[in-house]
Amino acid sequence: MVPLLQAMDRPCRVDQTRVGIINQSEINAANAGNCEFYVTLGLLRRANDNQLRGVLAHEVAHQDLGHIAKAQVLGAGINILAAGLQQLFPGAASVAPVAGELVARGYGRSEEYAADKHAVDILSRTGYGKDTMLDALTWIRRTSGSGGGGGFLSTHPALDDRIATIQRLR
Ligand SMILES: [Zn+2]
């Protein structure tokens, strides 16, 4: 299986990739540019492997497409580690807990749709495909009913539209 990072058009070197884990219960993930990614504990705890893969493929796609990073972390200090991430980012320089609150401002709609489309390309190169992206998004739509999807939802276009758009991809 090809790792996500190696499936990029401009792959992030593993030793320059950083993944921060934020102690927040809401489901969220973000790309902060320079091969730096953030995921919330809420995402790690509630997503299965395939859903996590889909969400991260979307964030990796933002990085690969050179979208200007809009994520930052406010605050400092907690310590928890996740195993699922090591699988997706094997050998990443650091998969580390980060203190604070993830603040991810939304990209433009066109950038979001471009990221979904590119995420499907990236997933295909790793032996997965649009089903993984659809699984992730339908899971977030389902989970958001119980108030858990806040972060990822608030910064992204309507899930119904995104799901329909991905379904039309070949
Ligand atoms: Zn996005």
| CA of 117 relative to ligand 1 center, distance in Å | 11
Q: Tell me which residues have their CB within 5 A of the ion that is ligand 1.
A: 112, 115
Question: For 118-129, how does the pLDDT look when each residue is reduced to its tens digit (9 = 90+)?
Answer: 999 999 999 999
Global pTM value: 0.81
Say if strands 101-104 and 71-74 run parallel, antiparallel, or are unpaired: antiparallel
Residue corresponding to tokens 């910064």: 155
The top-scoring range by mean pLDDT among 59-63, 99-103, 152-156 is 59-63
Let me know if 93 is exposed, middle or buried by CB neighbors in 10 A (0-12, 13-18, 19+).
Answer: middle
The residues, any chain, with a CB within 8 Å of residue 79's CB and separated by 6 or more, are 97
Mean per-residue pLDDT of the chain? 82
Split at pLDDT 50, 70, 90, the class of 155 is: low
Tell me how far the alpha carbon of residue 143 lies from the centroid of ligand 1, in angstroms.
18
pLDDT band at 52 (very low <50, low <70, confident <90, very high): very high
Q: How far is the CA of 60 from the centre of ligand 1 (A)?
A: 9
User: What pLDDT does 156 receive?
Assistant: 63
pLDDT tens for each residue of 72-83: 666 544 333 455
* pLDDT confidence tier of residue 142, bands split at 50, 70 and 90: confident
Q: How far is the CA of 35 from the centre of ligand 1 (A)?
A: 15
Instruction: Give the pLDDT of residue 74.
Output: 60
- Distance from the CA of 83 to the center of ligand 1, in angstroms? 23
Tokens matching residue 94: 């650091």
Q: What is the pLDDT of residue 123?
A: 97
Q: Where are the domains of the chain?
A: 17-168
